[in-house]
Amino acid sequence: MDYQNIKFEKDGALAILTVDRPKALNALNSATFHEMEHALNSLKEDTRALIVTGGGDKAFVAGADIAEMATISAAQAREFSALGHRVFEHLENLPIPTIAAVNGFALGGGLELALGCDLIYASEKAKLGVPEVTLGVIPGFGGTQRLTRLLGRARAKELLFTADRLDAAKAKEIGLVLDVLPADKLMEHVKAVAAKILKNGPLAVAQAKRVVEYGADQDLRAANELERQGFAVLFGSEDQREGMAAFLAKRPANFQGK
């Protein structure tokens, strides 16, 4: 596919998806969603981590494209919301770690995109929020639910009701982002995190993600059963044998994802 709104690159086992509409502050329109969906569908088994970021030096993603949304009907809005949900759920359900490098404005749909990732890191100049109520609407791509699960009801409601924009330091303080970096160090840091992940057993990392994600929706006993199953199944893998043999031999493991 000839991408017009994103960049999609591979660097060994690492993939980088960049929303690249800098003149529109990387706003998400239908065409961009479809390109993102195509990129996610094209990921191969040799990809073991994904970074998501924004093009240019001002925005991660400033939100959904208001120019597209301003005149659509309720039925069209439902279709647009369903498209965004489908893409972000695909991102969330990938069996590999996903990392958001929030390099500027992450508002509305932009914050929802970041929330679909496993880990969120921000530059010092990032601004984050869900300002949809100032437009007479609410988040439509999972923001109300993912914010609540990450921050708790009261903090999520505060952000949703007030439409406040948080600076990166405040976002870290409330647990919305993990760390804040100088703008020129953000990608270096995120790639370093990805490099640490890539050294580990890919089946084990995928299983860890699976049991955390599915376990979060279960009671503790059911969630612990998921963990027991995940732990046991890895003992049928070549990676488990290689990892433990390497530990005993005091050498680096050579994981194959098998």
Catalytic status, residue 112: yes
Separation of CA 78 from chain center = 23
Amino acid at 222: A
Residue 140 phi, psi (nearest 5)? -120, 5
8 A C-beta contact, residue 26 and residue 20: yes
Query: Which is catalytic among the residues 132, 158, 173, 238?
Result: 132
8 A C-beta contact, residue 138 and residue 148: no
Catalytic status, residue 225: no
How far, in Å, are 61, 138, 200 from residue 10 at the CA level? 21, 35, 19
Determine the Cα angle at 53 with ends 157 and 195, to 5°: 110
DSSP per residue, 11-64: ETTEEEEEE--GGGTT-B-HHHHHHHHHHHHT--TT--EEEEEESSSSEEE--B
Pick the closest to residue 150 from 164, 160, 140 (CA basis).
160
Query: Which is catalytic among the residues 112, 173, 238, 242?
Result: 112
Residues in the chain: 258
Pick the closest to residue 72 from 140, 5, 124 (CA basis).
140
State the Cα–Cα distance between residues 180 and 123, nearest whole angstrom. Answer: 5
Report the helix count and the strand count for the chain, using DSSP H and E.
11, 10
Positions marked active-site:
112, 132
